[in-house]
Amino acid sequence: MLKEGDKAPSFSLTSDNGETVSLKDFKGKTVVLYFYPKDMTPGCTQEACDFRDQQDKFKKAKAIVLGVSRDSMGRHVKFREKYDLNFPLLADEDGKICNAYGVWKEKSLYGRKFMGIERTTFIIGPTGKIEKVFSKVKVKGHSEEVLEGI
């Protein structure tokens, strides 16, 4: 897992609007990069809607929010449209970026072990260094917690 002070791994991923989004596009800006397990699930929907509802505050803080999961671009488009999301969702279908950021982990649910994304948010500063890491995120109140960390 990456830690505060580490250089954020670069990436180029396709967003839900079909554009390629790269970390280098945001040089000089603060990026809130949040990894979540799956579109359309209750926790992920709540988290995305909370980030959506806080967009004005993130813009005032001069921060860009990017959501990342391993869902397909098509699923991201449906998710964005259904919940009127106002920030890019990035499709990491092959999991390379999840691995680079150390969020692809063994999880356990009802005694069953499986691999999945551990809900994690990184605040990446204007110089490309990780300023804050929120791991094993609890959804309730998370967007406010991130705003306080910027």
Domain containing residue 132: CATH number: 3.40.30.10
Least confident of 38-42, 88-92, 107-111, 120-124: 107-111
Q: How far apart are CA 108 and CA 123, in angstroms?
A: 27
Q: Is 130 inside a domain boundary?
A: yes
Question: Does the pLDDT at position 107 exceed 90?
Answer: no
For 94, other C-beta atoms within 10 Å of its C-beta total 10
> Catalytic residue numbers?
44
**CA–CA gap between residue 2 and residue 143 (Å, rounded):** 20
Statement: residue 1 has pLDDT above 80:
no
Q: Is residue 16 part of a domain?
A: no
Work out the pLDDT band at 108, boundaries 50, 70, 90.
Answer: confident
Which residues sit opposite 137 in a β-bridge? none
Whether 73 maps to a domain, the answer reads: yes
Expressed as residue numbers, the domain containing 95 is 27-149
Angle, alpha carbons 130-23-25 (nearest 5°): 130
Give the total number of structural domains in the chain. Answer: 1
**Residue 49, in any domain of the structure:** yes
Its pTM stands at 0.95
Q: What is the pLDDT at residue 92?
A: 97
CA distance 17 to 3: 30
Domain annotation covers residue 9: no
Q: Model confidence at 109, in pLDDT bands (50, 70, 90)?
A: confident
In a domain, 20, yes or no: no
Q: Is residue 56 part of a domain?
A: yes
- Pick the closest to residue 148 from 124, 123, 130 (CA basis): 123
Assess if residue 105 is contained within a domain. Answer: yes
